[in-house]
Amino acid sequence: MSNAVQEVNRHTIAVLVDNESGVLARVIGLFSGRGYNIESLTVAEVDPREKLSRITIVTSGTAMIIEQIKNQLRRLVPVHKVQDLTTQGPHVSRELALVKVSAGGEKRVESLRIADIFRARAIDSTNESFVFEVVGATDKVDAFIKLMEPLGLTDVSRTGVVAIARGPNPI
Amino acid sequence: MAHHETLTGAEILLKALVDQGVEVIFGYPGGAVLPIYDELFKQNRLRHVLVRHEQAAVHAAEGYARSTGKVGCVLVTSGPGATNAVTGLADALCDSVPLVCLTGQVPTHLIGNDAFQEADITGITRPCTKHNYLVKDTNDLARTVHEAFHVARSGRPGPVLIDLPKDVVQNKGEYVAPAKVKSKYKPQVKGDMKGIEKAVEMIAHAKRPIFYVGGGVINSGPAACQLLTQFVRMTGFPCTLTLMGLGAFPGSDPLFLGMLGMHGTVEANMAMHDCDLMINIGARFDDRVTGKLDGFAPKSKKIHVDIDPSSINKNVAVDLAIVGDCAHVLEDMIKAWKAKQARVDDKALKAWWAQIDRWRSSNCLAFEGSNKLIKPQYAIQRIYEMTKHRNPYICTEVGQHQMWAAQHLKFDLPHHWMTSGGLGTMGYGLPSAMGVQMAHPEALVIDIAGESSIQMNIQELATLVQHRLPVKVVILNNQYMGMVRQWQELIHGGRYSESHMIHHPDFVKLAEAFGAVGLRAESPSEVDGVINEMLAVDRPVVVEMRTDASENVFPMIMPGMAHNEMVLGPEDRSRDNPGSETDGMVLV
C-alpha cells in the first residue's frame, strides 16, 4: 500500500447523540473494543428540548481507520449525526485549561507576564499560587503549560477539544 | 386500541410481543421474571419453550429467526440467567440474526446495590448486542419493546436486549400500539443509482468476474435470493457463497463454484484469486474468507454491496461501494442492466469458464472411501442423498463436521442452513435445531454434530423430548475435537494437547436416558440403515456414527496464506496434480 494510504492523521469528529444513559459508554466502548485512539473527548448536552448531546472526539488513524470510526459511530442507534470536521471544510476548535502554578519571587512575576502574553486570566490567587484559565487551540494550551513547567506548575485540568464547523450550517 | 388503558408491565409486555408477531418465546424462569411468567401462564397466544440452559434459549431463537426470517424472542431471568445468554447474543451479533432478548432485573431501587441475582447486563452486553435498553418506567415499556423489534429487524439485523426491572413489570402503565411508535433508527435501504449504473458498466466489461455472496442476501429475504439467482444467471458469471450465504444461490446450479474461504473449493478460491472483477453482495470480507489480505484477489476491481456502511472498506478497500439492502440494490441493478441492454463479454467469459473448469476438475472435495471406517464426508453425503427430497433444515455445531457439511450438502433454498459462522460457537446446533423445529413442526430438521460440540448443550435433549420436537441429531464421533486436532497435526507438530476426550458418554444410552431414541453406526455398511431408522421415527433421535478419527478437512488455506496457496488432501497427490512434492499434501 502507498504511504498516502498508510499515513496516520489526526481528525476531530463531532457526534450528535441522544442524551440517554449509557450513550457515552457505547461510544467509548466502541473505541476501546476496536482499538481506536482517543486523544480527547468532550461531551455535554447541547439541546435540552430534543435531549441531544454533542461529543467531540479527537482521534488519529489512517484514512481507512478514520472511515471505519465514523461508520461504526453511525451504526450506534442513539447516534444521529457524525461529522468529520477535519475533512468537511474549515472549522474552529478550542480547549480550555485551568493551570495551577505555585511559586514565589521572580518566578511568580514571570508566570503572570507569560499569562498576559497568552491572554490567560488568573481566576484564583493565594500568596504562593495562581490558577490560570487559558483558552485556545490545543497547541496554544500545550505551549502555555510547557512554559509554566519551570515556573512552579503543580496541577492541570483540561476540557479537551470542542470544535465546530465555520460558516452558517449546523452539523 | 383503547386510549389510556392501564395494564401491568407484564401485561403490556406480552401485548407488545403479540402485536410484534411473536409466536414463540424461548426461555427459563427465575425470581426477577416471575411476574412475566405468571402472565404467560394466564394466556395462550404466546407459546413458551422451556430450555435447560439460557444459552440454548438464545440459540433456539436464532434457529427460529434464521429459518423464518422473523425476529426470535428470548426471556430469561436476571443475573446468571442473563449472563448465560451472553454467548448466544454474541453469536447472533456476529451472524446478524434478529433477536429480542428480555432479561429480568432486580427492582429499580436495588439496581447498583449488588442485590441477589443482579448483574449489569446492559453494561455486559453493550458490545455484543446491536442495541440494548434498561426500562425504568412502565410507561416506556411498550414503546421500548416496539422500538427493539424495529431495531432488531431493520438494516443489518442483530440481537437487541431489554432489561426489565421487576417493579417495572409489576407496576401499572399505559400501552402504546406499534403504529404510534416512531423510531429515529432508519437505515438506508435503497442503493445509490449512480453507483448501481457504474456497477452495471463494470460487470459488462468484466473478463474474469465472480459473484462473492454472503449471508446479507439471505437476511434480505427470499426475494433477494431470487433476484440474485436471476442476475447471476443473466450474466452467466460464476458464483461462490460464504458459509453464511449457503442457500442464497442454488447449490445445484452449474454456475455455483461451492463455498469459498479457508475450507472452500479450489475452483472458488482460485477464481477469487484470479478474478478481474469481484462482485461482493452481502458478504463482509471475513478473515476466514480472505486469507492473507496482501494476497487477496490482487488483480481485481471490487464492488461491494452491503447494508452496513461499516462493513465497507473495513478489511479490504473496494473500488465501488453501494450501501443498501441487497434486494433493493439487486432489483435496481437488474433494471439498470436491462435498460442499458448491457451484454457480457462472451468470449472472455468462455475462456474464464474454461479455466474454472480446469480448477474444478481437481475434484477437490473427493476423499478416499473405506469399507471399514465411516468417513465423515461419506456419512454427510449419505444424509444428503437420503434426505434431499424432503428439503431438510440443517443445523450444525462447530468444527470439522461443520465444514464437511458446508462442503458436501447442497442447498437450493435459503433459510435451510443454520450454523454459527462468525463466533464459531460449539453447542450452537442442537438448540438451534430446536428453534427451527418449533417454527417448522412438520419439517425434517437435522443437527449434524461432533461428539465434542454436542456435549456443550446436550442437556437440550430434555427440551426436545418435553416439547415433542422430533429433531434428528447425527453425531460424527471421531473421539477428538477434530478441528483442534487437525490444527495440532498440521501446525503444532502433532502434539495433541488436550484435544482428545478419552472418555465419552455412551450416546445411545444417553439419548435413551433423556427419553429420545439412540442409534449407532460403526461401519459404512450400517450408515444407510441408521439413517432410514432415524427418518422413520417421529421422535427426537440421536445417531452416533463412529467415524475415521484421522480424517482432516481439505482443501485448507493455512492461516496467513492466500487463496492460491491451498493445501489439498493426501488423495489429491495420487491423482494428476502437478508440483506435488510435499508429503501428503499439495500446494496449489
Q: Do residue B122 and residue A22 have CB atoms under 8 angstroms apart?
A: yes
- Please give, rounded to a whole number of angstroms, the shortest distance from the CA of A93 to a CA of chain B: 27
Q: Do residue B126 and residue A25 have CB atoms under 8 angstroms apart?
A: yes
- CA A93 – CA A90 distance, rounded (Å): 10
Helix (H) or strand (E) holding B396: strand B393-396
Pairing of strands A153-158, A91-102: antiparallel
The per-residue pLDDT for A4 is 60
Q: For the purposes of burial, counting CB atoms within 10 Å of the CB of B386, is it exposed (0-12), middle (13-18) or buried (19 or more)?
A: middle
B128 touches chain A (CB under 8 A): no
Catalytic residue among B116, B230, B340, B509: B116
Give the rounded percent of residues in chain A with a pLDDT score beyond 90. 95
Name the average pLDDT for chain B: 95
> Most distant CA pair in chain B: distance in Å?
79
Q: Do residue B310 and residue A72 have CB atoms under 8 angstroms apart?
A: yes
Joined together, the cell numbers standing for residue B275 give: 478474478
Q: State the pTM of this model.
A: 0.94
A77 touches chain B (CB under 8 A): yes
- Please give, rounded to a whole number of angstroms, the shortest distance from the CA of A13 to a CA of chain B: 16
Q: Let me know if B483 is a catalytic residue.
A: yes
Q: What is the pLDDT of residues B275-286, one digit of tens each?
A: 999 999 999 999
> Most distant CA pair in chain A: distance in Å?
59
A22 touches chain B (CB under 8 A): yes
- From chain A residues 99-158, the ones with a CB under 8 A of any chain B CB are none
Q: Let me know if B172 is a catalytic residue.
A: no
Give the rounded percent of residues in chain A with a pLDDT score beyond 70. 97
Q: What is the pLDDT of residues B145-174, one digit of tens each?
A: 999 999 999 999 999 999 999 999 999 999
Q: What is the pLDDT of residues A19-31, one digit of tens each?
A: 998 999 999 999 9
Q: What is the pLDDT of residues A104-142, one digit of tens each?
A: 999 999 999 999 999 999 999 999 999 999 999 999 999
Residue B95 phi, psi dihedral angles, 5° rounding: -100, 10
- CA B556 – CA B365 distance, rounded (Å): 11
Q: Do residue B309 and residue A71 have CB atoms under 8 angstroms apart?
A: yes
The per-residue pLDDT for B570 is 76
The closest alpha carbon to B397, from B456, B320, B309, B468, belongs to: B456
Residue contacts between A and B (CB atoms, under 8 Å): 37
Q: Let me know if B166 is a catalytic residue.
A: yes
Q: Do residue A22 and residue B312 have CB atoms under 8 angstroms apart?
A: no
Give the C-alpha distances (Å, rounded to integers) separating B292 from B212, B295, B566.
17, 6, 12
Q: For the purposes of burial, counting CB atoms within 10 Å of the CB of B271, is it exposed (0-12), middle (13-18) or buried (19 or more)?
A: buried
Residue B471 pLDDT exceeds 50: yes
Catalytic residue among B117, B170, B355, B479: B117
Looking at CATH, the fold of the domain delimited by A92-164 is given as Alpha-Beta Plaits (3.30.70)
A71 touches chain B (CB under 8 A): yes
A68 touches chain B (CB under 8 A): yes
The per-residue pLDDT for A1 is 47
pLDDT band at B573 (very low <50, low <70, confident <90, very high): low
Q: What is the pLDDT of residues B71-119, one digit of tens each?
A: 999 999 999 999 999 999 999 999 999 999 999 999 999 999 999 999 9
Q: Let me know if B116 is a catalytic residue.
A: yes
pLDDT band at A3 (very low <50, low <70, confident <90, very high): low
The per-residue pLDDT for A6 is 83
A38-49: b (≥16 Cβ within 10 Å) or e: eebbbbeeeeee
pLDDT band at B502 (very low <50, low <70, confident <90, very high): confident
Name the average pLDDT for chain A: 95
pLDDT: is B395 or A5 the higher one?
Answer: B395
The per-residue pLDDT for B184 is 87
Q: Do residue A75 and residue B314 have CB atoms under 8 angstroms apart?
A: no
What residues in A contact B184, CB-CB < 8 Å? 80
Residue B266 pLDDT exceeds 70: yes
Catalytic residue among B11, B20, B26, B54: B54
- CA A41 – CA A28 distance, rounded (Å): 9
Give the one of B151, B184, B314 whose C-beta lies nearest to A68's C-beta. Answer: B314
The closest alpha carbon to B245, from B408, B90, B99, B66, belongs to: B66
- Please give, rounded to a whole number of angstroms, the shortest distance from the CA of A71 to a CA of chain B: 5
Residue B135 pLDDT exceeds 80: yes
User: Domains in chain B, start-ordered, CATH in brackets?
Assistant: 6-180 (3.40.50.970), 193-360 (3.40.50.1220), 376-546 (3.40.50.970)
pLDDT band at B571 (very low <50, low <70, confident <90, very high): low
Residue B587 pLDDT exceeds 50: no
Q: Let me know if B460 is a catalytic residue.
A: no
Residue B585 pLDDT exceeds 50: no
Instruction: Domain ranges for chain A, please list them.
Output: 3-88, 92-164
Joined together, the cell numbers standing for residue B154 give: 431493520
Helix (H) or strand (E) holding A84: strand A79-84
A35 touches chain B (CB under 8 A): no
Q: What is the pLDDT of residues B323-339, one digit of tens each?
A: 999 999 999 999 999 99
Residue B461 pLDDT exceeds 70: yes
Write down the ipTM of this complex.
0.90
Residue B36 pLDDT exceeds 60: yes
Q: Do residue B317 and residue A64 have CB atoms under 8 angstroms apart?
A: yes
The per-residue pLDDT for B333 is 98
pLDDT band at B576 (very low <50, low <70, confident <90, very high): very low
- Please give, rounded to a whole number of angstroms, the shortest distance from the CA of A44 to a CA of chain B: 21
pLDDT band at B569 (very low <50, low <70, confident <90, very high): confident
Q: Do residue B309 and residue A22 have CB atoms under 8 angstroms apart?
A: no
Question: Domain A3-88 sits in which CATH superfamily?
Answer: ACT domain (3.30.70.260)
Q: Do residue A64 and residue B310 have CB atoms under 8 angstroms apart?
A: no
Q: Chain B: residue nearest A63 by CA? A: B313
User: Are the folds of A3-88 and A92-164 the same?
Assistant: yes
Give the one of A5, A21, A71 whose C-beta lies nearest to B310's C-beta. Answer: A71
B360 touches chain A (CB under 8 A): no
